[in-house]
Structure 1
Amino acid sequence: MKKILLISGLILGLSACSTPKEPQLTVAPQPTISSVPVVQGKTVMVESRDLRTAQFVAVVDNGRKNVQPIHATSNVRIVLEDALTRQFNSQGYRVATDSKGKVRLDVLDALVKVEHSVFSHTMQTNVQIQLVAETSDNKFVKRYTGKSTMEGATSASVEDMEIALNTLLDAVLQDISRDKQLATFMNENF
């Protein structure tokens, strides 16, 4: 009897390992790296918050009331904070915890919506990031938004969704790196 229980437990354990896992998206935006530093010796503290109402990064609607949320393989807030930190470092800022100037990145939206029909799909991607740059005396707040729509003849793959989301996040990070108002505020106040 013990042998039967042991063998059945082993079979159940092995079958659990072979069950398919839920798909996940790899969120890996590339920061805009500046070839020439724009500042020297200025420090900035970087923080982030995830203010999205739901933590998934994609929603796939196959019709017939079959909606599947897809999560990211890593924490979106941390990935974006790291990308922004690398971007600031390339611009000549020294990211530190003891700076009088602070930049907070708020993730407001990062979502791919996929609608499948029998022979095609539509992907709508939305990204919204808010930056709050502040010192004890001054504050600068700005939202950076990206939207894209793509259509295809077959089902959308996980890779298609990753490309759509990461491409839009790259574009928003590029907008942040080119923002003259943000650069002026940081140069004058940090």
Structure 2
Amino acid sequence: MRKLVLAASIALLTACSAPQQEQINFTPRAELSNSNIVNGSSFTLTSKDVRSAQYVALVDSGRSNIEPIHSKQNVRITLENALLEQFQSQGFRSSVNSENAIVVEVQELLVSVKHSVMENEMDARLVLEITAETPQGKLVKTYTGTAERTGALSASNDEIQLVLNDVSNLVLREVANDRELQSYMQERF
């Protein structure tokens, strides 16, 4: 029994001292409105992350070694907070018991990185589905953002982080400027 406890302790200590996977900062910036389109219309905001994997980048160094990189922040919560800030800047008010609802679904968020010693190629993609639902019906919209970037030498985590946040900001801007979504929420919320 004593040997078993000792072996388990050694295994646990070894796991704790193993190198941690690298992580990058996911900090999308909300696109804030300068003027209200409504005055205090309420809604309930929920979100879900339906991605098959939780990493935000895959780095292929070409030596049969593909390394996933995760975000330091929770992707779903970070995007939900940015969208909440955007809607509030337009005059909407978040409530826990509103009959109006916005559901945000994160369907895809990934930066694919292929690099060698001499160059790198990054392809980023974010797909968000936003459902605005009222007792009178619902509007479902899908927003897709893509970005490509090439550079000399290997891609650093800072460069991957920049592309990830840029593609996220692009989609948030598209949501903020979507006249159809604004009109739907303005008329029905």
Deviation (angstroms), 1:64: 2.1
Other-structure match for 2:171: 172
Other-structure match for 1:97: 96
Other-structure match for 1:6: none
Describe the SS at the equivalent of 1:133. Answer: strand
Q: Residues 99-114 of structure 1: matches in 2 within 5 Å?
A: 99-114=98-113
Deviation (angstroms), 1:154: 1.0
The gaps in structure 1 that reach 5 residues or longer are: 1-8
Give the whole-Å Cα distance in 2 for the aligned partners of 1:168 and 1:149: 9
Question: In the alignment, is residue 83 of structure 1 matched against residue 87 of structure 2?
Answer: no
Q: Residues 1-190 of structure 1: matches in 2 within 5 Å?
A: 20-190=19-189
Give the whole-Å Cα distance in 2 for the aligned partners of 1:120 and 1:185: 46
Give the whole-Å Cα distance in 2 for the aligned partners of 1:189 and 1:38: 13
Other-structure match for 1:4: none
Give the whole-Å Cα distance in 1 for the aligned partners of 2:103 and 2:179: 18
Give the whole-Å Cα distance in 2 for the aligned partners of 1:169 and 1:64: 30
Describe the SS at the equivalent of 2:153. Answer: coil
TM-score of the aligned structures, taking structure 2 as reference length: 0.89
Q: How many residues align?
A: 180
**Contact preservation (8 Å) 2:37, 2:186:** no
Describe the SS at the equivalent of 1:167. Answer: helix
Deviation (angstroms), 1:131: 0.3
Deviation (angstroms), 1:37: 1.3
Q: Deviations over 1:145-179 (max 9, x none)?
A: 11111001111111111110111111100110110
Give the whole-Å Cα distance in 2 for the aligned partners of 1:118 and 1:32: 37
The gaps in structure 2 that reach 5 residues or longer are: 1-8
**Contact preservation (8 Å) 1:138, 1:189:** no
RMSD: 1.9
Deviation (angstroms), 1:136: 2.4
Deviation (angstroms), 1:95: 0.7
Deviation (angstroms), 1:44: 1.2
**Contact preservation (8 Å) 2:124, 2:164:** yes
* Structure 1 outlier segments of 4+, above 6 Å: none
Identity within the alignment, % = 38
Give the whole-Å Cα distance in 2 for the aligned partners of 1:30 and 1:75: 15
Deviation (angstroms), 1:128: 0.6
Describe the SS at the equivalent of 1:160. Answer: helix
Q: Which amino acid aligns with 1:79?
A: T
Q: Deviations over 1:95-141 (max 9, x none)?
A: 11111110111001110000012311100000110101101221100
Deviation (angstroms), 1:20: 4.1
